């Protein structure tokens, strides 16, 4: 009985954590790095950390040295590992991908 309850609690916490990775319908207003940072903060920082340091999601401080802008955009669109797909969409996703690709 205790194992079942613990499994349910851990599973619920995991689902709630994934739900926190998405959300936020606020849109950035332009092509500036501050807009991309704001979009990231609203949609991604709960998993990747406010300073890109990682947490439930991986560290992104040097993600641009591992992935190109197109590869980052593809990860945002299709998800990867525990990351759900389409956390950010459209121009916002392009803006964040460009911003993250510059992190080297």
- Cα(68)–Cα(90) distance, integer angstroms: 18
Question: What token pair was written down for 28?
Answer: 């950035």
What's the rounded mean pLDDT across residues 36-51?
96
pLDDT of the residue at 27: 46
Reduced to 3 states, what is the DSSP secondary structure of residue 55?
coil
Average pLDDT of span 6-19: 55
Closest CA relative to residue 58, chosen from 19, 95, 11, 21: 21
Judge whether residue 103 has pLDDT over 80. yes
CATH T-level topology, domain 2-101: Cytochrome Bc1 Complex; Chain D, domain 2 (1.10.760)
Domain ranges of the chain: 2-101
Identify which has the larger pLDDT, 18 or 77: 77
State the CB neighbour count (10 A cutoff) for residue 48: 24
- Counting Cα atoms < 13 Å in the Cβ hemisphere of 16 gives 6
Interval 54-74 mean pLDDT: 97
Gap between the Cα atoms of 28 and 34, Å rounded: 9
Give the per-residue pLDDT at 33.
82
């Amino acid at each position: 009985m205790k194992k079942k309850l613990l499994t349910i609690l851990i599973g619920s916490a995991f689902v709630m954590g994934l739900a926190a990775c998405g959300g936020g319908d606020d849109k950035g207003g332009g092509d500036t790095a501050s807009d991309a940072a704001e979009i990231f903060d609203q949609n991604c920082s709960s998993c990747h950390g406010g300073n890109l340091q990682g947490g439930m999601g991986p560290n992104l401080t040097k993600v641009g040295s591992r992935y190109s802008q197109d590869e980052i955009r593809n990860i945002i669109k299709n998800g990867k590992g525990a990351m759900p797909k389409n956390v950010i969409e459209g121009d916002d996703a392009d803006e964040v991908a460009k911003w993250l690709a510059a992190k080297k």
